Amino acid sequence: MSSVLATTLSLSRWQFATTTLYHFIFVPLTLGLAPLLAIMQTRWYRSRDDKWLRLTRFFGVLFLINFAIGAATGLVQEFQFGMNWSAFSAFVGDVFGSPLAIEGLGAFMLESTFIGLWIFGRNRLSPRVHLATIYMVWLGTWLSAYFIIAANSWMQHPVGYQLNEQTGRVQANDIGEILFQKFSLFAFVHVIFAGLMTGGFLVLGVACWHLLRERNVDLFRSAATLAIVVVLPVSGLQLLVGSEFGVTVTDAQPMKIAATEALWNTEEPAAFSLFQIGGFSQDDQTPSFDIEIPGLLSFLATNSFHGKVVGLNQLQSQYEQQFGPGNYIPDVELVYWSMRVMAYLGTLSFGLAAWGAWLLWRKKLENAKWFQRAAIAGIAFPFLSNFAGWILTESGRQPWVAFGLLKTENAVSPTSSVWSVGLSLGVFMALYAVLGVADFWLMRRYARLDPPEIETDEGEGAPLPAPGY
């Protein structure tokens, strides 16, 4: 590979990675806040207690601030497959394009149309129909996530296709398998739970910020209670789903799991490394220091404490035979640590949720200043976990873009030049940085306001977040 092409490849990868991670700041918030808003508005609809309407509007504004930027950056995602990865797009479009197209027509359209109805329809729709619109938004966001995850899962574990020798491109032959393979189902639940944690811990943290200052205590105690009721089971189950998903990944991509554990040689049973220094490269396969739990990796990867987990060296030679010479080992240190950041923060989140639940049970939530401070910091946990999870998933797939079918280095647009990709990377970074600062500023500002009062003459159909124009 020429050095020019290598630079273009590297810039394209940086662009895809940064824009995707950035997009995924906003996506999980939408996935998590939409159902929480639906619950809040339903409680208002049932009880006609103004408290829930005020909360719906309060968190509705935070939702909309993020929805805007999430939608805007989503367009970049769809375009850059073609812009930067045209060889990939032409090669897999027959299979990969369908979930994206269905996502647009079946899910994103739903979400985008009904969000307009929800924001502006408060005085033109009956309360019941208006309530239904937020449920449609919820449905749209989750469906949208499903199809995107199905597309991504296909890159991790291609199924339901055949290679057309004549065109040199893959083509679909089983849409059921492409859309509903086990990998997608697990990944979807994992992402939805991540979304609920992101939204739930945001509501909890913001509520605690207000409780800490003893403002609108009654209102925010209710918000915090709702958040805890959601995040406690979800963050607990997420640990199980994550580990079950790990078993599925082990079947589909043993190399990813071996790299995640920096397991150079096959072990039976395999120990789980909690922490280690060194041991991350082919020249340095033995850590100079590590803490291990015997048998745990076997359990995580195979559901049995005695299972066999294949090592990097063995997989490397197996892949060389299968796919020809080359390096098939991903960046071991990166995936090792991203998995641990994800899992440790996930565990910490569960701990925080359990602490909150205990305080709730003892009816001491509004006086627990240290918990409230911890919950404010806890807003960040899911975001960081989400980042780490995607870094693990995507960099653990390398050197493949579509596992076993196409390598990342062969997927890049043959026509793109160093300067055009460099320019776009620079433009996106600058634009996203400015938007990120503005978004954070707006979020912080609106999160600290008192929830809007309900004017008496608005009464029943009362609006959601005031139209923002």
Partner 1 sequence: MSLQIVWFCLIGVLWTGYFLLEGFDFGVGMLLPVLGRSEDDRHTMFESIGPIWDGNEVWLLVAGGATFAAFPVWYATMFSGFYLALLAILVLLIVRVVSFEWRGKAESPGWRALWTWLNTIASFGAPVIWGIALSSLLSGVPIGEDQSFVGDFGDLFTWYTVFAGITVTVLFALHGATFLGIRTSGDLRERAERTAARLAPLAALMGAGFLIWTLVVASDRNDKGIFPGIVVVVAAAVAAVAAVFLTRAKRDGLAFAATAATIALAVMTLFISLYPRVMVSAPNFENSLTIENASSANYTLTVMTIAAGVLLPIVLFYQGWTYHVFRKRLGGGDPAGATSSARSEP
Candidates 5, 125, 139, 374; binder of partner 1 (CB under 8 A) is: 125
The yes or no reply on residue 76 touching partner 1 (CB under 8 A) is yes
The yes or no reply on residue 132 touching partner 1 (CB under 8 A) is no
Residue 121: exposure state from Cβ atoms within 10 A (0-12, 13-18, ≥19): middle
Dist CA 85 CA 413 (whole Å): 5
Least distance between partner 1 and beta carbon 121 (Å) = 6
The yes or no reply on residue 164 touching partner 1 (CB under 8 A) is yes
Q: What is the Rg, in whole angstroms, of the alpha carbon atoms belonging to the chain?
A: 24
The yes or no reply on residue 119 touching partner 1 (CB under 8 A) is yes
Residues 6+ apart with CB under 8 A from 321: none
465 φ, ψ (degrees, to nearest 5): -45, 135
Dist CA 203 CA 220 (whole Å): 9
Judged by CB under 8 A, the number of residues near partner 1 is 83
Least distance between partner 1 and beta carbon 429 (Å) = 12
Listed ranges 71-79, 200-208, 237-245, 386-394: which one lies at the site for partner 1 (CB under 8 A): 71-79
The nearer residue to partner 1, 151 or 194, going by C-beta atoms, is 151
39 φ, ψ (degrees, to nearest 5): -65, -45
The nearer residue to partner 1, 445 or 448, going by C-beta atoms, is 445
The yes or no reply on residue 73 touching partner 1 (CB under 8 A) is yes
Q: Are 349 and 231 in contact (CB under 8 A)?
A: yes
Least distance between partner 1 and beta carbon 42 (Å) = 16
9-68 binders of partner 1 (CB under 8 A):
61, 64-65, 67-68
* Closest among 268, 261, 315, 314 to 290, alpha carbons compared: 261
Dist CA 183 CA 246 (whole Å): 10
Listed ranges 2-10, 240-248, 254-262, 434-442: which one lies at the site for partner 1 (CB under 8 A): 434-442
Least distance between partner 1 and beta carbon 380 (Å) = 23
Residues 6+ apart with CB under 8 A from 339: 260, 388, 392
The nearer residue to partner 1, 113 or 243, going by C-beta atoms, is 113
304: DSSP letter: S
The nearer residue to partner 1, 27 or 271, going by C-beta atoms, is 27
Candidates 51, 122, 210, 256; binder of partner 1 (CB under 8 A) is: 122
Candidates 217, 334, 446, 452; binder of partner 1 (CB under 8 A) is: 446
Least distance between partner 1 and beta carbon 390 (Å) = 21
CA geometry: angle 338, 344, 346, nearest 5 deg: 100
Give first-to-last CA distance, the chain, whole Å. Answer: 52
The nearer residue to partner 1, 102 or 259, going by C-beta atoms, is 102
87-116 binders of partner 1 (CB under 8 A):
87, 89-98, 100-106, 108-110, 112-116
Listed ranges 191-199, 371-379, 389-397, 423-431: which one lies at the site for partner 1 (CB under 8 A): 423-431
Candidates 46, 47, 49, 72; binder of partner 1 (CB under 8 A) is: 72
The nearer residue to partner 1, 65 or 204, going by C-beta atoms, is 65
Buried residues in 81-100 as b, exposed as e (16+ CB within 10 A): bebbbbbbbebbbbbbebbb
Helix (H, G, I), strand (E, B) or coil at 396: coil
Dist CA 20 CA 16 (whole Å): 6
Listed ranges 35-43, 296-304, 388-396, 412-420: which one lies at the site for partner 1 (CB under 8 A): 412-420
Least distance between partner 1 and beta carbon 51 (Å) = 19
